[in-house]
Amino acid sequence: MIRAFDTFSLPLLRWLDPEDAHRLAIQGLRLLPPMRPKAGDPKLAVRAFGLNFPNPVGMAAGFDKNAEVPDALLRLGFGFVEIGSVTPRPQSGNPRPRLFRLERDEAIINRMGFNNDGAQTVLRRLASRAHHSGIVGVNVGANKDSDDRTVDYVRLIETFAPVASYFTVNVSSPNTPGLRNLQQSAALDDLLARVIDARERVRKNAGDSPVLLKIAPDLSLNELDDVVHIARSRRVDGMIVANTTLARPATLRESNRAKEQGGLSGRPLFRLSTRMVAETYVRVEGAFPLIGVGGIDSGGAALTKIRAGASLIQLYSSLVYKGLGLVEDIKRDLSSTLLRTGRDSLSEIVGADAAALTAEDWPVR
């Protein structure tokens, strides 16, 4: 069914405006008939953040912003789904056009600006699936016109704790002016302290809510030192590495389209984001797991990200070019790698290449 869906949908979606295509994809997933997920390889199961993931392949935030199709995505084989980014109040985001394909580079530029239906609408959708299984994380952000962005994050933790499998504190989107300033030491320390305090306040009634921090790939290594130190000292449960980049590698072939403002994702981000995974992994020293995201478009790319230090991975941009069948392709390749090498789980190779990667020349930005 997935192959048939890709065969029919990919040419049509690529012909449409990118944002219209995205909306049509969401609608198509809403219409998919219920089906039982294909039985997965138990060797691909991952234990992280206190959660049991059936496989390491997740849908990254940004696709299902408003929690419209998390269960459809889980049935299609994802090990987990991250919805959002969600803000306390609905907001329309930046003016269109704000989403661009770089076809020859298999990349995307977006400047969406946290467009979403707002916390209350998204909460109702997640509450309605409370009887469903599956890991659904909530990526939280601040309203563009917020008087106190830290208060926005705290309010979202309190709101979604009963229905979120985990939280991602998104301070790394480049499309909300000033948001990345929250990665600076003092601001980040205050934010995480208040977020963790909010999580603890609601724990008794809402249960455990792991808190992850999502960072930009554009941090300097000195900045990364500070971020990891704060994340460890505030006892976050994990980090996601990394968001989209403001860099424009000289190797991009779609040079005119590359001039669009916004964050770049997809294949050109792979080397930089993978290096940042490795750099983060060696600094974290096993204190918590990492999710690696950025440019994963094959089983080999997924394996590289895991060997750099990621316990779990996420996809989004590559699905635009490869289709939903990519999820099963990656899982099949990871299973084959474990079988071929005689290993019982992916945990045996997480971070195997991290030290070597950090010794290489820095990827060309």
Q: Return the active site residues.
A: 173
* Torsion sign, CA atoms 251, 21, 240, 145: positive
Can you say how many angstroms the Cα of residue 73 is from the centroid of all Cα atoms in its chain?
Answer: 14
Instruction: Show the DSSP H helices in the chain as ranges.
Output: 2-15, 18-31, 70-75, 119-128, 149-160, 185-206, 221-233, 270-284, 299-308, 317-322, 325-341, 354-358
Q: Rounded distance, CA 144 to CA 142, Å?
A: 6
Q: Residues, the chain, total?
A: 365
Three-state secondary structure readout of 240-303: EECCCECCCCCCCCCCCHHHCCCEEEEHHHHHHHHHHHHHHHHHHCCCCCEEEECCCCCHHHHH
125 touches 66 (CB < 8 A): yes
Which distant-in-sequence residues (6+ apart) come within 8 Å of 288 by Cβ?
A: 49, 231, 232, 236, 237, 238, 239
249 touches 214 (CB < 8 A): no
Can you read off the two tokens belonging to residue 17?
């405006």
